[in-house]
Structure 1
Amino acid sequence: MLIGVDIGTQSLKVAVTDSQLAVRGEASRSYQPSFPLPGRAEQDPRLWEDALGPAIGEALAKAGCPAGKVGAMAICGQLDGCIPVDTKGGPRGPCLTWMDRRATQELADIDADHLHELTGIVADASHLAAKIRWLKRHGGDARTARYHQPVSYMVERLTGATVIDHALASTSMLYGLKTKAYEASLLAAFDVAETELPALASAGEPAGKLTAQGSALTGLPAGIPVAVGTGDDFSTALGAGLVEPGNVLVAIGTGEVVGAVFAEPRIDMGRLVETHAYPAGGYFIENPGWLAGGAVAWLKRLLGVADFAEIDRLAATAPPGSDGLIFLPALTGAMAPEWIAEARGCFYGLTPSHGAPHLARAMLEGCGFAMRDVLTRLATLGARPDSLTLLAGGAQSRLWAQIRADIAHLPATLPRHAHSSVIGAAMLAGVASGCFTDLKQAAALLPPPQEQLLPDSLAAATLDQSYQRYLTLFSALKPLFPQA
């Protein structure tokens, strides 16, 4: 049996699969990030450690599988977090998560054009290098030995190995797409020593074996192979079977990721999408995401709504276009139609006739408009999708899926397993243990999509008009963003 783990922003998920990648048991444990100040978002890495053992134990129990039958495991999870650790891999502070944009000033003297040319990514405070520089400039702990992203952190805690895959490393602003290595000029620019970073390896390689500490954290026997793993942007795509160029992935989790697999590296000179190494070969070109499911969770709390299903029920009672109400999905900074860290979200067009249903629908539509921004850019780079592959928690909302189909003028494909990151992790565990020769062999075992929703032409026409108003609103608010 194989175990796939996904370290999400709001929960840790586990799947136990057999050698054919059929899911036999699943479980999760919830937790939350903290937002101590505007622009800051943190998470205690011990939340992940505390969740790991109980979630694995429950998933094994549901699968009817004893721990001794597990052949390998892999960790995947959230990108762009930064965790300072000591020589033993213990945390020296909280994780600055992907939503944290406090390090904007650390980019002031960075040559953004040079960085973009080497890495294919945008010089942005969300990425690892800026956060490392911020920690060093603001009283970093002298006992810090190196810096991890969440996946490489957990792999070291389980195996003692300090290793990261090329895809995750390519999100750091320190990795060269052509050299497939850390770039000396960027290390120097951010004042980072290569010894302060995990070593590079392929995602499906075994990072090491579960140590006694790893056994205590997981409840699994020591000696089990643990794969290097990768970020959830990539494992989500892998778990949906995206190993060749084709359809566009829209993963609506806490953050929303929109991307596509390309055979060759293509660089977006407009800097809306980034180019990353991809574990199955080729490149994953994506926008790494804005707060989407996390925005809905915020609105749910604000309205005092019991659950996400109630948000759907509310939104379904408002018409397409939300009677003129527009939501700008920039609660933690804008990622579309432009990257502006200082941007903030808003509802525009409120009147006394608007109520909770309009707020709910406008939020679902606003996130869809940001998706359309990215789809348009991917098309200019050569993507020619015939449908959208919807994944993660948001894919379980048929209403949101239909809204996406209407906004994109494309069919929306719904998977049999929405949380595909854990399946992608299980695929990597299978490669690391020799169960599969490569990820393409593993992907061939995955079942076909469950359902496809076609766009509604009348709703699509209304949403086209709303989308143009969304773009006008963004342009009008830009002068205010630096004041945020």
Structure 2
Amino acid sequence: MIVGIDIGTQSLKAVVLSPEMKIIGEDAIAYQPDFPQAGWAEQDPGLWEKALGPAIHGALQKAGRKADEVKALGFAGQLDGCIAIDASGSPLHPCLIWMDRRADIAGVDADQVLKTCGVVLDATHLAAKIRWLKRNAPDVTRAAKFHVPVSYMVARVTGAQVIDHATASTSMVYGLKSRSYDEALLAAFGIRAEELPEAMDSAALAGHLSGEGAALTGLRSGIPVAVGTGDDFSSAIGAGLVAPGRFINVLGTAEVTGALHREAVIDPQRLVETHAFLGGHYYIENPGWLSGGALVWFRDTFGLASFEELTRLAGEAPPGADGVTFLPALSGAMAPEWIASARGAFYGLTPAHGVRHLARALLEGMSFAMRDVFDRVKALGVEAHALRIVGGGARSALWTQMRADLLGLPAETPRHLDTSAIGAAVLAAKASGAIDDIGSTVVALNPVARVALPLAQNAESYENAYRRYRQLFSSLRPLF
């Protein structure tokens, strides 16, 4: 059996695969991030460690299997976090997670970062956070390594200081062409190469479970552990995105969208980033805006009982929400432009509008941001003839249909929607020698279960609403 782990923002998930590569058990342990002040977002790495054993135990219990039957372990998880560890491997501070925007990027050449790394110069990325910590956290003078959440957990359970090429390519100091850290950008951020984990393939063997790792996981020591990858990439792998042709939409706490391409195309408009990926492909993606998190905000703000009630209310309003428009920028805009200081907004309200119109506009606004990314990816020459939707939001038939209508493409949802831990497990299966081919394995493991075809009668309403959304963004841009 193989165990895959996803270190999420709001929970740690575990999945168990049988020797036949079937999902036979899943479990999750919830926790929350901290927001010490505006623009800051942190998480105690101890939360992940404490959740690890119980999540694995719960998944094994549901599978009806024992811990000593597990043959390999893989990790995936949230990108763009930053944790400094000391020589003993202990964290020196809370993790600055992906939502954290306190970092300093002044003086770094944005064009150089884009050309070399394929990414946008942004405070959320690893190198900026390392620089902030070095300048503002006194304990970091004792740092032996700087990790992202996945590489941190792999180090904790194996002692190996490794990171995969895809996750390294989000750091702002990794060269896409050289497949190594770039000396000029390391110098620009004040980082030494030896302070970062070694870049390896995500399906490579990182090491074997140590005694400490066995204590944290409840598994037997000595089993293989894969290098693993960030959740943007593992979600795509677990959803079956292993070759070009499909545009993926991951509806989690954040909404990640993108597609695979055979070439490392760079977006001069800086809407999408380019990352290393399995099989020599490149993942052309937007790392996402607050999406599931926006639903949580709306549910709590308007006193709704559940997400199902939110979806039901949205379904009572027509496409276009009778003229109400929502900008999905509660934590800054990521589409149609990256503007960290942008803020969310509802526009078009009259006394005739109610909560159902706001709920509909909320779902549509995030779908419009997806359309921004899709149009940009296509303009860069990336193939996309179908939409693959995963994550918790994919359980909503309304949201899935909305996106199919907006793009004019069939929207596919696979059998299993929480795909990051599945991707982690498949990488572990490859690293341990349990499988030879990731692509054929994951397609058989998680086949398409439902397809929503675009409805022609909704096309005009959505086109009009999308134009209003773009006009509203342009009009409010001076305020951002």
Same fold (TM over 0.5): yes
**Percentage of matched positions with identical amino acids:** 57
Question: Where do 1:299-338 residues align within 5 Å?
Answer: 299-338=298-337
Deviation track 1:113-170 (CA, whole Å, cap 9, x = no partner) reads 1111100110011101111111111134132222111100111111111100000000
1:62 corresponding residue in structure 2: 62
Q: How many residues align?
A: 479
- Once the two structures are TM-superposed, the CA of residue 101 in structure 1 deviates from its matched residue by 1.4
Of 134, 137, 140 in structure 2, the residue corresponding to residue 139 of structure 1 is: 137
Of 109, 112, 116 in structure 2, the residue corresponding to residue 111 of structure 1 is: 109
What CA distance in whole angstroms lies between the structure 2 residues aligned with 1:32 and 1:351? 36
Classify 1:346/1:38 alpha carbon distance in 2 versus 1 (closer, same or farther; 3 Å).
Answer: farther
Question: Where do 1:307-456 residues align within 5 Å?
Answer: 307-456=306-455
What CA distance in whole angstroms lies between the structure 2 residues aligned with 1:59 and 1:199? 31
2:75 corresponding residue in structure 1: 75
Question: Where do 1:78-477 residues align within 5 Å?
Answer: 78-103=78-103, 106-141=104-139, 142-477=141-476
One-letter identity of the residue aligned with 1:125: A
> 8 Å contact 1:255–1:289 — kept in the other structure?
yes
What CA distance in whole angstroms lies between the structure 2 residues aligned with 1:324 and 1:100? 33
Structure 2 length-normalised TM:
0.98
What CA distance in whole angstroms lies between the structure 1 residues aligned with 2:371 and 2:440? 32
> 8 Å contact 2:203–2:427 — kept in the other structure?
yes
What CA distance in whole angstroms lies between the structure 1 residues aligned with 2:95 and 2:350? 40
List 4+ stretches of structure 1 deviating above 3 A.
none
> 8 Å contact 2:214–2:221 — kept in the other structure?
yes
**More deviation, 166-175/24-33:** 24-33
- Once the two structures are TM-superposed, the CA of residue 478 in structure 1 deviates from its matched residue by 1.2
One-letter identity of the residue aligned with 1:414: T
Q: Secondary structure at the match of 1:251?
A: strand
Deviation track 1:257-280 (CA, whole Å, cap 9, x = no partner) reads 111111111111111100000023
Structure 1 length-normalised TM:
0.97
What CA distance in whole angstroms lies between the structure 1 residues aligned with 2:13 and 2:446? 20
> 8 Å contact 1:20–1:445 — kept in the other structure?
no
One-letter identity of the residue aligned with 2:182: E
Q: Secondary structure at the match of 1:342?
A: coil
What CA distance in whole angstroms lies between the structure 2 residues aligned with 1:39 and 1:241? 35
> 8 Å contact 1:33–1:41 — kept in the other structure?
yes
Q: Secondary structure at the match of 1:14?
A: strand
What CA distance in whole angstroms lies between the structure 1 residues aligned with 2:323 and 2:381? 33
> 8 Å contact 1:21–1:426 — kept in the other structure?
no
- Once the two structures are TM-superposed, the CA of residue 439 in structure 1 deviates from its matched residue by 2.1
What CA distance in whole angstroms lies between the structure 1 residues aligned with 2:400 and 2:296? 17
What CA distance in whole angstroms lies between the structure 2 residues aligned with 1:323 and 1:441? 45
> 8 Å contact 2:14–2:421 — kept in the other structure?
yes
2:41 corresponding residue in structure 1: 41
> 8 Å contact 1:260–1:284 — kept in the other structure?
yes
What CA distance in whole angstroms lies between the structure 2 residues aligned with 1:32 and 1:444? 32
Q: Secondary structure at the match of 1:347?
A: strand
> 8 Å contact 1:116–1:122 — kept in the other structure?
yes
What CA distance in whole angstroms lies between the structure 2 residues aligned with 1:234 and 1:469? 32
What CA distance in whole angstroms lies between the structure 2 residues aligned with 1:345 and 1:96? 23
> 8 Å contact 2:261–2:383 — kept in the other structure?
no
Classify 1:140/1:437 alpha carbon distance in 2 versus 1 (closer, same or farther; 3 Å).
Answer: farther
What CA distance in whole angstroms lies between the structure 1 residues aligned with 2:320 and 2:444? 40
- Once the two structures are TM-superposed, the CA of residue 99 in structure 1 deviates from its matched residue by 1.2
Deviation track 1:408-435 (CA, whole Å, cap 9, x = no partner) reads 1111111100011111111101011101
What CA distance in whole angstroms lies between the structure 1 residues aligned with 2:365 and 2:38? 21
Q: Secondary structure at the match of 1:331?
A: coil
Deviation track 1:287-320 (CA, whole Å, cap 9, x = no partner) reads 0100101111111111122221111111111111
What CA distance in whole angstroms lies between the structure 1 residues aligned with 2:328 and 2:345? 7
> 8 Å contact 1:182–1:194 — kept in the other structure?
yes
RMSD: 1.2
What CA distance in whole angstroms lies between the structure 1 residues aligned with 2:279 and 2:303? 43
Q: Secondary structure at the match of 2:245?
A: coil
What CA distance in whole angstroms lies between the structure 1 residues aligned with 2:376 and 2:423? 26
Deviation track 1:437-477 (CA, whole Å, cap 9, x = no partner) reads 24234335334300111112222211111111111111111
What CA distance in whole angstroms lies between the structure 2 residues aligned with 1:370 and 1:157? 37
Identify unmatched segments of 5+ residues in structure 2: none
Identify unmatched segments of 5+ residues in structure 1: none
> 8 Å contact 1:19–1:430 — kept in the other structure?
no
1:10 corresponding residue in structure 2: 10
What CA distance in whole angstroms lies between the structure 2 residues aligned with 1:378 and 1:420? 22
**More deviation, 444-453/143-152:** 444-453
> 8 Å contact 1:75–1:425 — kept in the other structure?
yes
One-letter identity of the residue aligned with 2:83: I
Classify 1:441/1:459 alpha carbon distance in 2 versus 1 (closer, same or farther; 3 Å).
Answer: closer
> 8 Å contact 1:166–1:279 — kept in the other structure?
no
